[in-house]
Amino acid sequence: MHYDLIIIGSGSGNTLVTPFWDEKKVAIVEGGVFGGTCLNRGCIPTKMFVYPATLASAPAEAARLGVSLRLEGVDWPGIRDRIFGRIDPISAGGRRYRAEDLDNVTLYEEDARFVSAHELLLDSGERISADRIVIAAGSRAVLPDVPGIDLPGVHTSDSIMRIDRLPKRLVVVGGGVVAAEFAALFSGLGTEVIQVIRGRHLLRHFDPTVSERFTEAAAQRWELHREWELASIGAGSDTDVEVRFSRRDETLALGVDAVLLATGRVPNSDRVDTAAAGFDVLPDGRVAVDGYQRVLSGGEPVEGVFALGDVSNPYQLKHVANREARVVSHNLEHPARLRATDYRAVPEAVFARPQVASVGLREEEARELVGEDLAVAVQDYGSTAYGWAMEDTEGFAKVLARRSTGELLGAHVMGHEASILIQPIVQAMVTGTDAYTLARGPYWPHPALTEVIENALLSLGLDHPDDAPL
């Protein structure tokens, strides 16, 4: 069967089916759950769990401020069913709309592999082809190669949110964003969380100040073991699972109810066999694309073939995949007026306790770029009036700018609502507003927590331009 457009993946790729294609033949290939990772087992359900976990942890926070609260219990099945009772119908509705309601769209609920640049072989044996193909196949969790990886009680982010009961003890293996969020989530709900990492710090790809301070904060909230390698997983004598780690001549054995493996994600380029089509694949497995999201072969764009999302970009962020989908949609519909994806000021947020948000360069990257022209300021939440109200002792905002021009190079925030506080910096970086003007041009409501950003900008100590606001 030949189509005008084939889309591999039903996450952000699903948005490509616009009215432009109403009179054309479109195929969507989805071997997993319709809607992709973010909707079904990623950013949306995790945040829906994070909020009740934050509420459950409120008594400990309130006690510091002289308020006595009591948590009477956590209804895990009720929370789980409420969340997926909302998400599953959205996924099913999207599937039904594409598969049954649109005459021009065919949904193939199976996996497919490339046999050439414009032809796919489905698991069923059927071959389909198209003039234009979009690879939006996403990524998957990495499974370490250790004994016992397939035992009951061993989970990735794909399955941990649908378990039947809240674990009393949970081992989280890994120190990245997924590990941090789930450790905070389960800890907040009352699980005894034990996080084990290979290195010294959590969130190692963030700015060092964030990584160091978040590691300190996490170690105050749940048990943290550093510099251990996962060795094996087995059935415990008194517990559901026993997880063993090694460090030189030492062994660490932990008996728990469940283990969450959060050791990274890999692009699904191999699952669609992009190599068979002759497409360029980067060393980390991502499909190589140019600025217009066109897939490359031998360094040159392949006519009519695009890629977007985790399968081709390094961010693994839904908002980036959505932006790329808009670009690909435009370029499919207007091939004579191609537009490039703008990756300026891509923010990242970690919905853990405490929250973390980041945009732009880390300090070492900024220093390498501008050298002695770098201005750095770190402002603690506790230095602001709202920080006093919270009696905050760990939150901070760090801002990096080019001293000579005030150009904002990056910002890193850790603490209450960091994901919101980062936004003024994101907007300034995109619009070209310099740090001096951002600090003094708009009013910043007092005593809102946003003052921590304002004060960090002021603390950069930049020179006052003649025409700048006072």
CA distances from 372 to 17, 186, 378 (A): 50, 44, 17
DSSP 228: -
Structure tokens at 218: 């996490």
Rounded to 10 degrees, the C-alpha dihedral 182/187/190/196 comes to: 90
CA distance 269 to 202: 28
Sequence-ordered strand ranges (E) for 381-447: 396-402, 408-414
SS3 199: coil
CB 452 within 8 A of CB 387: yes
In terms of Cα–Cα distance, which of 41, 397, 56 is closest to 221? 56
Task: Extract the tokens encoding 64.
Answer: 């510091």
Residue 272's nearest CA partner among 181, 157, 137 is 137
Q: How many Cβ atoms from other residues are within 10 Å of residue 46's Cβ?
A: 20
Q: Are strands 229-234 and 169-173 parallel, antiparallel or unpaired?
A: unpaired
- Report how far residue 100's alpha carbon sits from residue 333's, in angstroms, rounded to the nearest whole number: 24
Helix (H/G/I), strand (E/B), else coil: 129:
strand
With beta carbons less than 8 A apart as the criterion, state whether 328 and 312 touch.
Answer: no
Contacts for 143 with CB less than 8 Å, ≥ 6 apart:
149, 156, 261
Q: Tokens at residue 13, please?
A: 């790729």
CB 437 within 8 A of CB 469: yes
Across 413-451, b (16+ Cβ under 10 Å) vs e yields bbbbebbebbebbbebbeeebbbbbbbbeeebeeeebbb
Of 291, 299, 296, the closest CA to residue 274 belongs to 296
Residue with tokens 């457009």: 5
Task: Judge if the upstream peptide bond of residue 354 is cis by omega within 30 degrees of 0.
Answer: yes
- Exposure of 226 by Cβ count < 10 A (0-12 exposed, 13-18 middle, 19+ buried)? middle
334 is catalytic: no
Q: Which of 2, 334, 446, 464 is catalytic?
A: 446
The number of helix segments (H) and strand segments (E) in the chain equals 13, 23
**Residue bearing tokens 């060092």:** 208
CA angle (335, 336, 339) in 5-degree steps:
70
Catalytic residues: 446
